[in-house]
Amino acid sequence: MIKPVPDSVLDQLKAALGDGGWSADPDRLAPKLVEWRDRWRGTTPLLALPTTTEQVAAVVRICAAAGVAITPQGGNTGLVGGQIPQGEILLSLERMRAIRDLDVFDDVIEVEAGAPLASVQQAAHDAGRFFPVSLASEGTASIGGLISTNAGGVGVLRYGTMRAQVLGLEAVLPNGEVWNGLRRLRKDNTGYDLKQLLIAAEGTLGVITAAALKLYPIMASRAVAFVGLRTPQAAIELLARAKGETGGGLEAFELISALGLELVCRNIPDQRLPIGGEHAWAVLLETASSEAGAAEAAVERLLAKALEDDLIQDAAVAQSEAQAHAFWALRENQSAAQKPEGPCWKHDIAVPVSRIPAFLQRAGAAMQAVEPGVRIAAFGHVGDGNVHYDVLGAPGLAPEAHAALRDEAARRVYDIVAELDGSISAEHGLGIMKADEALRLKPAAEVEALRAIRAALDPGRIMNPRVLF
């Protein structure tokens, strides 16, 4: 817990924000002080609710002068605790959600940081364009939070993470200065790219107040297939073929284990598999093309050849949008389907695609060593090398006994990830949950450099001081 914020600072903040620009009402604050899965709870003396970039700057200047810490919070959908204050001033941009501009020649949308992702997707759609970042919490997750955590989700395979969508940023730096970097250029080589530092900084290098984001054309054809196969190695071979066959048009390539499919069918209503037979693994793939019929044709060619070569066991191509949704539900319900099975060790990791089979093999053995009989429900964005490595308790084991082994299991998984040159946080960030493990596993030279950068830009360490290094 940090030291209490002096009343004089609170008074200055209230004056700068004006009536309606702040709250200390426990009911108003309550939903912002608990992580949505209730893993972290926090406190704050004041919720700042600015409506302009200048007000954000005033808040940061006041806090910087007084050495008072700030926790910026977006839609409070984070999974690693980075958004929950422990006595810091809580800063929310929920009243800054304007779409400032959209230009179809620049293929750019300029939006304030408090806007929810879904509003950007909708604005793009209304203009005949596509914004490709998509994830389960898109109705709530804010643009500022998504940039600050470099969000992933579906669509990364073709379009990249949030980082790849950012053309420019407006931000308040830790000294309270407004940086207008709201460029909308595809090329700009005039020194270090400051925006790249703010992306994924989890609020430690400033407060993002607005962003210029890329837009894309809407595709004319789309195909979704569900494939049964024997091994993860077969899946990555199919992935390589699919990338070649679709020429970069592959939008999703998701791996699901047989256990994951079994749990979905058991625990979620109205789910059924599109193919019969016994398959140790399944792949859900989606591809899109600007050419009418081309997506379907590419998938048909890919699957016919893969069946002929015995690379896959069976496959179904969705014949309607409803069927495509039903295929996707099998993937999207993976987490929900685990819930009735008791506590689950969860790991959001990435390894090089070629090393996914080795990771699954080694991690599986390690998990059995930690707890004999564990049930591995791995799934994820395998096209990105990103596995959600979820592990359920051994049948019959008390839930508390499984939960008690969580940290030991995580350490074993992360050690294997590190040996395979992977990442212990593919898309969720470090927050306060994984910072220590990252510190243990990252090269010392890198941590030293990142700490020097942070100290240079925020010498008082006022910005989200408990997260990262």
Give the footprint of its own copies on residues 225-284 (CB under 8 A): 236-237, 239-240, 243-249
CB of 132 to its own copies, least distance (A): 10
156 binds its own copies (CB under 8 A): yes
Give the footprint of its own copies on residues 163-182 (CB under 8 A): 163-164, 173, 177-182
Q: Pick the closest to residue 327 from 227, 259, 221 (CA basis).
A: 227
6 versus 248: smaller Cβ distance to its own copies? 248
Residue 82 near residue 432, CB atoms below 8 Å: yes
Residue 17 near residue 59, CB atoms below 8 Å: yes
153 versus 393: smaller Cβ distance to its own copies? 153
Residue 74 near residue 142, CB atoms below 8 Å: yes
* Per-residue binder mask for its own copies (CB under 8 A), 21-60, x = binder: ----------------------------------------
305 binds its own copies (CB under 8 A): no
375 versus 388: smaller Cβ distance to its own copies? 388
CB of 187 to its own copies, least distance (A): 4
Give me the phi and psi of 392, to 5 degrees please: -95, 155
Give the footprint of its own copies on residues 60-79 (CB under 8 A): none
466 binds its own copies (CB under 8 A): no
Instruction: Name the one range near its own copies by CB under 8 A: 83-91, 157-165, 305-313, 366-374.
Output: 157-165
Which H or E run contains 159? helix 156-159
20 versus 443: smaller Cβ distance to its own copies? 443
**Amino acid symbol at 212:** A
Choosing from 11, 54, 193, 310, the residue that interacts with its own copies (CB under 8 A) is: 193
Measured between alpha carbons, how far is 77 from 99 in angstroms, rounded to an integer? 21
21 versus 429: smaller Cβ distance to its own copies? 429
CB of 240 to its own copies, least distance (A): 6
Residue 324 near residue 274, CB atoms below 8 Å: no
237 versus 408: smaller Cβ distance to its own copies? 237
186 binds its own copies (CB under 8 A): yes
Give me the phi and psi of 380, to 5 degrees please: 150, -175
95 versus 243: smaller Cβ distance to its own copies? 243
Instruction: Please count the residues of this chain forming the interface with its own copies, following the rule CB under 8 A.
Output: 101
What are the start-end ranges of the H helices in 160-269? 162-165, 194-198, 232-246, 258-267
CB of 189 to its own copies, least distance (A): 5
Choosing from 187, 278, 308, 322, the residue that interacts with its own copies (CB under 8 A) is: 187
Choosing from 183, 230, 411, 461, the residue that interacts with its own copies (CB under 8 A) is: 183
Concatenating the DSSP letter of every residue in 273-338 gives -SS-S--SEEEEEEEEESSTTHHHHHHHHHHHHHHHTTS-SEEEE--SHHHHHHHHHHHHTHHHHH
1 versus 444: smaller Cβ distance to its own copies? 444
Tokens 């950012």, residue?
A: 166
Choosing from 90, 143, 201, 306, the residue that interacts with its own copies (CB under 8 A) is: 201
Distances (CA, A) of 52 to 57, 114, 305: 9, 11, 57
Instruction: Name the one range near its own copies by CB under 8 A: 9-17, 23-31, 347-355, 363-371.
Output: 347-355
Measured between alpha carbons, how far is 379 from 255 in angstroms, rounded to an integer? 5
Measured between alpha carbons, how far is 363 from 372 in angstroms, rounded to an integer? 13
- Give the start-end residues of each E strand in 125-206: 129-130, 166-172, 178-181
95 binds its own copies (CB under 8 A): no
Q: Which residues contact 295 (CB under 8 A, 6 or more apart)?
A: 219, 221, 222, 223, 246, 249, 287, 288, 289
Measured between alpha carbons, how far is 347 from 418 in angstroms, rounded to an integer? 13
Instruction: Identify any residues that bridge with 70 across adjacent strands, giving them in sequence order.
Output: 89, 463
Give the footprint of its own copies on residues 401-460 (CB under 8 A): 421-430, 434, 438, 442-443, 445-446, 448-450, 452-457
Choosing from 185, 275, 365, 398, the residue that interacts with its own copies (CB under 8 A) is: 185
21 versus 385: smaller Cβ distance to its own copies? 385
Instruction: Name the one range near its own copies by CB under 8 A: 14-22, 87-95, 189-197, 266-274.
Output: 189-197
* Per-residue binder mask for its own copies (CB under 8 A), 136-155, x = binder: -------------xx-x---
Give the footprint of its own copies on residues 382-401 (CB under 8 A): 383-386
